[in-house]
């Protein structure tokens, strides 16, 4: 009686091929997972920057919309450092409202009070331009604000702008 040989086991070559295929699949999964995590982190930084810029621009728009007069920059002029306005319905000693740029922050000063930063420490104001739009005909005077803001965690700067007009 002859005994039949069983070839049901894996050879060394087959084992190495399967191990290589599994390694490639696992490597691809790790790379994709890393890219998803990195993209999520970048998106979070962009969203944070957008929220900061929106807050700053809305605060300036709020001040301008209730302004009775634009003190600085002068009519038709541009300033890269200061916006000064007088606002209706403010308490005694709260005029003028002064927005200024100092050491990467945008500051708000109300009358004789000390300046308060409007941005967090996680963003830097790279550049700011305040343009006084002259009143013409029936169009009221206004201010165009342009900001270049950078998240401190990245090197990319994003530009934002808003134009607000005084109420006639």
pLDDT of 13-26, one tens digit each?
A: 888 999 999 999 99
**Measuring CA to CA, how many Å separate 34 from each of 25, 27, 82?**
14, 11, 44
The domains of the chain are located at: 32-165
**Measuring CA to CA, how many Å separate 113 from each of 46, 98, 108, 134, 151?**
33, 11, 10, 29, 28
Q: What is the mean pLDDT of residues 25-41?
A: 88
Supply φ then ψ for residue 36, to 5 degrees: -65, -45
CA distance 58 to 106: 13
For residue 5, the model assigns a pLDDT of 59
User: What are the tens digits of pLDDT across the range 118-163?
Assistant: 999 889 999 999 999 998 888 888 999 999 999 887 778 899 999 9
For residue 6, the model assigns a pLDDT of 58
For residue 144, the model assigns a pLDDT of 93
For residue 117, the model assigns a pLDDT of 93
For residue 78, the model assigns a pLDDT of 87
For residue 25, the model assigns a pLDDT of 95
């Amino acid at each position: 009686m002859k005994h039949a040989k069983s070839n049901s086991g894996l050879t060394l070559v087959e084992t190495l091929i399967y191990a290589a295929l599994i390694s490639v699949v696992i490597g691809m999964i790790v790379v994709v997972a890393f890219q998803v995590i990195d993209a999520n982190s970048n998106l979070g930084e962009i969203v944070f920057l957008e929220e900061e810029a929106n807050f700053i621009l809305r605060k300036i728009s709020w001040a301008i919309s209730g302004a009775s007069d634009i003190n600085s920059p002068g009519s038709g002029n541009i300033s890269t450092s200061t916006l000064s306005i007088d606002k209706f319905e403010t308490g005694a000693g709260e005029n003028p409202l002064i927005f200024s740029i100092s050491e990467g922050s945008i500051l708000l000063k109300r009358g004789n009070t000390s300046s308060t930063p409007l941005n967090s420490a996680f963003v830097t104001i790279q550049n700011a331009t305040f343009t006084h739009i002259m009143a013409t005909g029936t169009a009221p005077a206004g201010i165009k604000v342009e900001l270049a803001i950078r998240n401190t965690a990245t090197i990319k700067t994003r530009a934002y702008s808003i134009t607000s007009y005084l109420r006639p």
